[in-house]
Structures are given as C-alpha cells and as structure tokens.
Structure 1
C-alpha cells in the first residue's frame, strides 16, 4: 500500500511503532484531515498539537497525562477517510479528546478499500513495539475482518462501532440511528409543505423530500427508515425519494443523485453517506434548496455549505471511541459487551444548522422536541427498515 495512506500520531512519550454514553467527550466544532502512509513495520517519532488540515504530511497529536494508566491505541478508520466532516472525523474527536485527558499514545490508519481492513487490524495486533492495548475499528464494514482477526489474536482487545462481533475480546458500540433520523425527517416533512426560505435555500411547494445513502446496507437503511417515518409522521402526503450511491467517498455521485432528486421536486435532502454527502450540499447550493447533514454538525464541519444545511443528525461516535479508551486507560475494558446509544443516552440527536437553523419555526422545533420525548418514553416505535 502507498506509504502515504498510513496516518501517524504519537503522545508525550514520543515513541511510536508499527504500521498500525454517559460521560463522553464534548463536541468539537472543527474538523481535521490527515494524510496516511501505508504498511511499514515502524513509524517515525513525532510530537505536536494537531492533525494536518491540508491532507499532506504526518498526523501529530499531543497527549497529556491524566487519570488512568498509559495505553497505546490503534485506530482503523472507515473508507471515506478523514476530512469527511462526518463519521470518521467524529471518531477522531473522541480519540483526540481521550489523548488530552489520559496518558495515551495512538496511531491512525486510513484504508482506501474494505479489503485493507484485515491488513491494518492484523498489523496493530501483531505489533510489539508498541504493544497496542486497544485496536479501534470504525464502521460496520470492518465486522467481517474483525471476526477473523479477533479470533487470531485472543489476547488483543478490540472495539468496533456500528456492528456486533461475537468475541470475548471485542467491545461493540451500536447506535439508534433510526431514532435521530426520525427527528430530521419530521423537520423535513413539516417544512416541505410550508413556504419557507433561509440562507441560500427555499422550499418549492411540491411536498417532496429525498434521502441519499452511501452503501446500501442494513445499517444505512436504518437512517432511511427513521427518516421516512419522521416525514410520514409530519405529513403522510409527502413523497420521499431515495437512492444509494454505492460508496462513502463519492462527492460527484452524491451531487448527481441530489440534482436528480431536486429536479424531481425535492426541496430537502437528508444524506447518510460520509464524504459523498459533500456533493449533496453542493447540489443544494446550486439548486437553492436545502440539505440535512449527518454524524456531526455539518454546518460547522462544512462551513462553505452552512447556508443550505438546515440541521444534522448527530451520532456520537466520539463518545463510543472515548469511552472505550477511557475503559482501557482505567483498566476496566469489557470485551464481549455491547453498548447501545440512542436518544435516551444522547448517542444520537438533532442539531440545527449554525447559519440557518435559527430560521426553522419554533412550532416545528416544538413538535420535534415532543417526538423526541415520545420516542424515549416508548410512545413512538421507530422502524429500523424502510
């Protein structure tokens, strides 16, 4: 693999090796993009303060000693890469916050293809300099590889986000994406039937909204299912268009899909597609329509698109990463366990856009707040498949 596709990050100890919800971290408002390098058995020593935002050079981080013991963490990101302003960047927020609060060192890897997951997971598990206390696997697509690797290395602790791997050395973190998606769907369903304008967008009176997914999978269908349910709860006459681009790092595909939906009358599109969603935002701006972000507050992580982002369905992947590292640092990591994070645990939710979210009518926000509580109270059962 290209040496540049391996990310390097180290803590105060200054030594790195290998190629390799309840009290979670606070949300950060910036996103960083880091370059990566591939597959060597050793990495140079680096220390510093922040990841490289240009995408060139090595990632650097500062770790400060806090409560808990020293630990080495290996991070394998999902395809789509850092700088997506969404899923991977949210995971990195948790890693960086843990680095600030605990005495840890970390390395990061950024696979380009799903076929590379197993290689990176094995590389971290095999490493002895450093010896990794935890290997974090970000994304459901890593589950198959981790099922094999966790069995090959029973003494190595792993964590995975968005999947459950039945192994005594794997901590699993899942989210109720459908619950948070219901809320943004309800917002879309209410606004598309109104005469509404804000920032660079406006509704068109067609009572049509859209959903753009990345890879068609059970997980991403949870986003679509919740969104559809929320739209229908707002107004059963609203039409929901839907398409899957086939990847999480295809802005051009996202833009094409969104433009097609806008041309069919959609005025608000929700995406669950990683960096592919960057193209959805671009299309919204060109068509003077609206979009809804995912995983992080994308009106902040994608500021150039803030004038069309009504809200984002935030998913606290950072909490999962942070909590797993905290457990390792404090010596109470629990393999074989599954932690589910939904609205009640503040693992998912709706955040209104930084630039135009204030324009969303208060009566709409009130209805969404009521739905949130109804879901938590069990009065509303949100489907997990479209």
Structure 2
C-alpha cells in the first residue's frame, strides 16, 4: 500500500499488477520470536534452501500441491572426474580484471566443489589463439570449457556445436547472437540458444549508471571522462551507462557536468584499440585530464590500469572496473574513487555448482562504493540482500 501511494506522490504510479514474491521479499515468514528454540539450525538451513529453490524455479509449488512434485536427484557425477578448462581473452591472467576474476572462480570450484585439480587455464596472447586453445581442451578430453569475453563469442559457438558432449560457458556473452542480416558462423555464433552452452551476462550499464552519478557528484571541475579499449558492445554498455548517470545527476541537481570521451548519440568516443597496454591507457587518461576531467572511468581491461598512474600524477580520481581494484591494485587505492564490479568469479562458480539458473536469471552486477578515507570493500557479497544493485531481466 505504501509503495502504491508513494508512486502517486512521486509521479511514478503505473497501472498493472504488482506481485509480491519470495524473490522481492513481498512475502516471507515472520521471525519465530518465543518459538525460536524449536527451530534447529538444520531446519533453518533447510528452510533457507527451500526458499532458494522456489526463487530459482527448481521447486514447483503447484505440482507439490497435488502430490506430483519430485525431489531433485542426487549428483551422479563424481566432482573429481570433472576437468574444467578456461580460455582467457588477450588481456591475460594478470589483468587484475575479468580474466583474473574468472580464474578465481575456477580456483574456488577446485577448492570448494572438489573438481579435478587438473582444471587449468590457457592464455590467449592473440585472437588466433582462441580456436587453438578451445581445441586443445577438447583434445585433452576436458568435459567443461569456459571462455572469457565478447571476443570469443564466435569461436566458442563453433566449438560447442562441434562438440555437443562437452559443456561450455562464456563470460560476458550469450546466445543467440545472430540478428538481422548477420551470417551465422561468420558474423555471429548462433541464431538460437546452444543446448550445451551457458552464457554468463551482466547488466554492466546499471552499475556504470551509479558510477556516472557518483562521479558527477564529486567532480570539482564539472568534467568527467571515460575511454574504452576496443569499441565492442560490452564496452559501449559501460560508457552509455556512465553517461546516463552523469545526465541524471545534471537533471536532478540542475547542474552541467560534462562527459568527455564518449557520446551516446553519435556512438563516438576515445578508444585505445587494445586491452593489454597500460601505457596507452595512461595516455588516454592524460588526454582527458588535460581537457579538464577530474574523474576517469576506463573500460579497457589491463590497459585501463594506466589510468591510475595518470591520476596519481595529476591528483585526480579513477574508477575501477570488473573487480574491486583497491584490492587488486592496492598501491593505486588512494586515487580510486570506487570500482564497478561484475561478480564473474561468483557467476562462474555458480555455473559449475549447478545453480546456473539463478545466475542466468539475475544477470547480476554489483557496485561497491569505496570512500577514499575508508578501507576498501570487497565486491563479492555474503548474501543477495547485501548487493547494492540487483538487476531484473
């Protein structure tokens, strides 16, 4: 009732239907109060697992109401028999960004799920390595192969179709990816979903929106900047989301903060054309700083790390991407305003631990503000309720 009235007050009221669910906390169980002693820790855990199953869609309440529900079968595969291979993008395993966080997810699966210790990654030093590395894992009979990044979309689809007995997952990408006049197998990977492939995607523009708003709010020069690595859709998503945040700040505060380095209307901006060269990142950042920007968002993988070197020299601020870069780059933390984080390691681990339906449904991006005077916060939350931004699809 409160939110219906609030919608009328703030001008956001719309007709239709609101559905309160376990997922949005519209329905729930009240605290046990004086009966708490009757609920054991084991029973509470089972109740929590039950809620998660309903939210994930793995428990059909309607079928259970008529006695037709079925319990999920126990795992039939010994985790030790599962060998997982991960193919990096050209940024490499030490990019302090999306390759590194994906590898962290695999390492977590080795430790916590007990998959084969032979699970490993192969580094792609150039785009021609993608196909070769994918085939290497197939030849070695790895039964799950993970690829990292938009640029592996075509090669991953080809490999998945050629090897239907192997399970694939790709970070920051999903199928179908063929639209309009795009030719399958040449311009794109698949015109439909691929049965043995899971896409792990993130609503990066949503957290970038928050970052843009924050950047505009702290800017003293009334100019903020962004630049990309290669101009591909996932990079553009960051940039237009960032611009949306700046624009929202301006509208809300009657301000005129200017964004340098990207224009969503023309889709033109500053790009280094590489994800692996911090020197070029520093050069791009310095060019924006010279134009007056005092907060910079790089969207360029390893290249973006050069932003923080420029920020130190010019006494401005940078914004990290993909992971909490105050943790991955502690020496640069004094000039990092915040980091725009995607929970790639979590999504990877979730895919491996058979709760990928949740990952696919939430397509979650998390944003953690890092006050300069406080200790950095980890981007990986302990529970869904701690996530600052949880997207809905």
Normalised by the shorter chain, which TM-score bucket?
0.5 to 0.7
SS at match of 1:305: helix
SS at match of 1:209: strand
What do the CA deviations read for 1:2-47 (whole angstroms, capped 9, x no partner)?
xxxxxxxxxxxxxxxxxxxx89xxxxxxxxxxxxxxxxxxxxxxxx
State the shift of 1:353 in Å: 3.1
Matched, 1:99 2:114: no
SS at match of 2:85: strand
Matched, 1:120 2:112: no
Would the aligned equivalents of 1:176 and 1:340 in 2 still touch at CA under 8 Å? Answer: no
Q: Which structure features the higher share of strand residues?
A: 1
State the shift of 1:78 in Å: 1.3
- Could you tell me which residue of structure 1 aligns to residue 316 of structure 2? 289
State the shift of 1:152 in Å: 1.4
SS at match of 1:175: coil
What do the CA deviations read for 1:215-235 (whole angstroms, capped 9, x no partner)?
101111000011110111112
- Could you tell me which residue of structure 2 aligns to residue 254 of structure 1? 281
SS at match of 2:83: strand
State the shift of 1:250 in Å: 1.1
- The CA distance in 2 between the partners of 1:309 and 1:102, in whole Å, is 34
Matched, 1:163 2:173: yes
Matched, 1:213 2:223: no
Alpha-carbon spacing, 1:171–1:282, altered in 2? closer, same or farther (3 Å) = same
- Could you tell me which residue of structure 2 aligns to residue 339 of structure 1? 360
Q: Unpaired runs of 5+ in structure 1?
A: 1-21, 24-66, 193-204, 360-371, 379-386
TM-score w.r.t. structure 2 length? 0.66
- The CA distance in 2 between the partners of 1:376 and 1:325, in whole Å, is 22
Matched, 1:266 2:293: yes
CA RMSD of superposed structures (Å): 2.5
State the shift of 1:283 in Å: 0.4
Alpha-carbon spacing, 1:377–1:87, altered in 2? closer, same or farther (3 Å) = closer
Alpha-carbon spacing, 1:184–1:68, altered in 2? closer, same or farther (3 Å) = farther
Work out which of the residue numbers 206, 212, 225 in structure 2 matches 1:179: 206
Alpha-carbon spacing, 1:110–1:266, altered in 2? closer, same or farther (3 Å) = same
- The CA distance in 2 between the partners of 1:333 and 1:184, in whole Å, is 28
- Could you tell me which residue of structure 1 aligns to residue 150 of structure 2? 140
- Could you tell me which residue of structure 2 aligns to residue 326 of structure 1? 353
User: In the TM superposition, what are the counterparts of 1:1-386 in structure 2 within 5 Å?
Assistant: 69-70=79-80, 71-105=82-116, 106-127=119-140, 131-165=141-175, 166-192=193-219, 205-236=220-251, 237-242=256-261, 243-327=270-354, 339-342=360-363, 347-353=364-370, 355-356=372-373
SS at match of 1:81: coil
Would the aligned equivalents of 2:350 and 2:356 in 1 still touch at CA under 8 Å? Answer: no
TM-score w.r.t. structure 1 length? 0.67
SS at match of 2:367: strand
State the shift of 1:356 in Å: 3.8
- The CA distance in 1 between the partners of 2:306 and 2:362, in whole Å, is 29
Would the aligned equivalents of 1:212 and 1:257 in 2 still touch at CA under 8 Å? Answer: yes
- Could you tell me which residue of structure 2 aligns to residue 50 of structure 1? none
What do the CA deviations read for 1:154-182 (whole angstroms, capped 9, x no partner)?
21111101111331111111110000111
Q: Unpaired runs of 5+ in structure 2?
A: 1-51, 54-76, 176-192, 262-269, 377-387
Would the aligned equivalents of 1:208 and 1:239 in 2 still touch at CA under 8 Å? Answer: yes
SS at match of 1:100: helix
User: More relative contact order in 1 or in 2 (CA 8 Å, sep 6+)?
Assistant: 1
- Could you tell me which residue of structure 2 aligns to residue 367 of structure 1? none
State the shift of 1:340 in Å: 4.8
Would the aligned equivalents of 1:183 and 1:349 in 2 still touch at CA under 8 Å? Answer: no
State the shift of 1:376 in Å: 5.4
